[in-house]
Amino acid sequence: MTSAPPDQPAPGSVPGPEPLPALRDVPRSDRPGLLAALAEDLAAAEYRVDAVAGLLGPEAHAALSRDQIVPALVATRRAGEDPARRHLTAVVRFFLLARPASREELDVALPTLGAEGLVALGLAEAHDDGRLAATLDLRPYAWDGPEGQVEMWVASDLAAHQRPGVLRADHVLGIGHASATLVQTTARRPVARALDLGTGCGIQAFHLLAHAHHVVATDVSDRALAFARFNVLLNAQVLGVDPDQPERRIELRHGSLLEPVQGERFDLVVSNPPFVITPRSAEESAEDRFTYRDGGLPGDRLVADLVAGLGDVLAEGGTAQLLGNWEIPDGAPWHERVRTWVPPGVDAWVLQREQLGPGQYAETWLADASQQRDPDAYEEAYAAYLDDFASRGTAAIGFGAVWLRRPGPGQARLDRFEELTHPLEQPIGPHWSAAIDRADWLAAHPDLGPERLVVAEDVTEERHQRPGAEHPGVILLRQGAGFRRTSLMSTELAGFVSACDGELTAGQIASALAALLERDDDAFRPGLLAEAANLVADGFLVPA
């Protein structure tokens, strides 16, 4: 049996101004030698996203993404017979599939750390039969960074498909659908200071470290901060963090919403807050709430308060992006209440991606925590959701992304609320960033007349007409990338777009169309250029 390497806690190994409190049931990050051994063994086992996908095969890998582990169990049983893949198979079964393993198997699969090292780091515990079981999910994660692919490992609590029973209230979520959505949605740019509000296991902070000089990550959960700290130090090298002085790049702070950063300013804020609307009761305590999703406030007040307060922590030109739910009253436009949350002097662009009825919403979040496994409690909780929404006249619940900015000199003032429920190109963040740049360009060029425009490369034109008709009845412009919008065109606007090849100015094209159609130039031109400006804003036309 391989023994754990000797180790001593390293001074300054805790990201943040003060050490976090001692906690049970969290991975230890005060053993730098053991962390280094773990990283060495995981790398040697080729525990990477593409290698795991190759080991499992397309069908089992796709099933695992749906939290179905049986195909992966079958695939790893077969793969375990191949000596060349035995180490990777053992690691996948232990950490991803949560299957117990003997100490001898783990000593072979992780020879530097060994089984005793796993226990010492709090990553494994003994079963009655002497085998070890993983205490957490530890999985490979990768993304395309500014200088190439970034590969790391991310620890979180075991999910419902990996362990029996209802999730613990202080469950630390892994890389879920919402966190991946925020990663893809964020409009990234180099910044001096960034804030990850509600960091959880740290996924947003890891991405911020790729383009921010310094990151502050906050959470109301001490357990979440402990997982984030472990993940930062396990992946210190790839994240560009000095494990002896991590606070130079990243600080972890405990506290609710904006409390930990009052009086500070940031160039970029991202947040996947606990936005789930949950019925409140007089008997509940903080320990009864699923902290990863429930902020403890009634209705959608948490998101409302966050949107209203974010302007106070944004530097001039600073932006914030967050996910959220909002209640839609019966008979009201979906954005009516959301618009009232935006404080004066702050730009807003809110994108609603879906709406659910109260029943669908209740089912979604009760299943999320596996609460259906207790039938009596499920019935009671479902009814509480319906009563809670009915008490406020809520007809539907919207989900989407919010972009905010404290504008600087020369930047556009944005007040945009739109619903796009069709699939968008992912990541959408770069396209959102380009759209903001176009808005600023339009603000700096209020008269399009002298400007030259071209049709964006992803745009196609579609015409529909009845058989035998002389002219098309419908002309559409479609985007093949980004937001993938469709724009209904007038004949005049279609003619303008067809002439936008960068040779003539927008004003010259408009005047030529006015003459061709025998219209008064002074009356025709302003309206057509205003429509053209809308096409620039949406990305159908771009400056030449």
Q: Which tokens in the block code for residue 60?
A: 């089992």
Distance (Å) of CA 71 to CA 75, 99, 115, 351: 6, 14, 27, 37
* Domain extent listing, the chain: 178-441, 445-543
pLDDT at residue 367, rounded to an integer: 85
Assess whether pLDDT exceeds 70 at residue 10. Answer: no
pLDDT at residue 288, rounded to an integer: 67
Distance (Å) of CA 27 to CA 17, 178, 260, 477: 20, 24, 24, 53
Percent of the chain with pLDDT over 90: 81
Assess whether pLDDT exceeds 70 at residue 7. Answer: no
| 8 A C-beta contact, residue 52 and residue 61 | yes
pLDDT at residue 12, rounded to an integer: 33
pLDDT at residue 19, rounded to an integer: 46
Q: Which tokens in the block code for residue 536?
A: 């620039």
Question: What DSSP string describes 12-29?
Answer: T-SSSSSPPPP-SSS---
pLDDT-based confidence at residue 194 (cuts at 50, 70, 90): very high
Alpha-carbon gap, residue 229 to 237, rounded angstroms = 14
pLDDT at residue 5, rounded to an integer: 40
CA triple 483-474-416, angle to 5 deg: 35
Q: What is the pLDDT of residues 347-381, one digit of tens each?
A: 999 999 999 999 999 999 888 767 777 788 889 98
Strand, coil or helix: 519: coil
Sign of CA pseudo-dihedral 287, 288, 292, 293: negative
Assess whether pLDDT exceeds 80 at residue 24. Answer: no
The CATH superfamily assigned to 178-441 is Vaccinia Virus protein VP39 (3.40.50.150)
Q: Would you tell me the crossing angle of helices 491-498 and 506-516 to the nearest 10 degrees?
A: 130
Averaging pLDDT over each range in 6-20, 79-93, 210-224, 283-297, which range is the top one?
Answer: 210-224
Assess whether pLDDT exceeds 70 at residue 343. Answer: yes
Average pLDDT of the residues of the chain: 92
pLDDT at residue 479, rounded to an integer: 97
Give the residue-averaged pLDDT of 487-507: 97
Alpha-carbon gap, residue 294 to 287, rounded angstroms = 11
pLDDT at residue 17, rounded to an integer: 36
The set of residues, in sequence order, having a beta carbon less than 8 Å from that of 21 and lying 6+ positions away, is 222
Q: Which tokens in the block code for residue 534?
A: 């809308």
Provide CATH code, domain 445-543: 3.90.930
Q: What is the pLDDT of residues 271-304, one digit of tens each?
A: 999 899 999 877 766 666 777 777 878 899 999 9
Which of 212, 221, 211 lies closest to 257, judged by CA?
221
The set of residues, in sequence order, having a beta carbon less than 8 Å from that of 292 and lying 6+ positions away, is 171, 172, 173, 200, 221, 224, 274
Looking at per-residue pLDDT, the higher value among 189 and 160 belongs to 189
Assess whether pLDDT exceeds 50 at residue 18. Answer: no
Assess whether pLDDT exceeds 70 at residue 16. Answer: no
- The distance between the two most distant Cα atoms of the chain, rounded to a whole number of Å, is 91
Instruction: Note the pTM of the prediction, 2 decimals.
Output: 0.90
Q: What is the pLDDT of residues 164-190, one digit of tens each?
A: 777 788 899 999 899 999 999 999 999
Assess whether pLDDT exceeds 80 at residue 480. Answer: yes
Fold: same for 178-441 and 445-543: no
Assess whether pLDDT exceeds 70 at residue 530. Answer: yes
| 8 A C-beta contact, residue 494 and residue 475 | yes
In what helix (H) or strand (E) does residue 188 lie, and over which residues does it extend? none
Residues recorded for the chain: 544
pLDDT-based confidence at residue 242 (cuts at 50, 70, 90): very high
Alpha-carbon gap, residue 281 to 379, rounded angstroms = 16
Assess whether pLDDT exceeds 90 at residue 4. Answer: no
Phi, psi of 405 (to 5 degrees): -150, 140
pLDDT at residue 133, rounded to an integer: 96
Assess whether pLDDT exceeds 90 at residue 205. Answer: yes
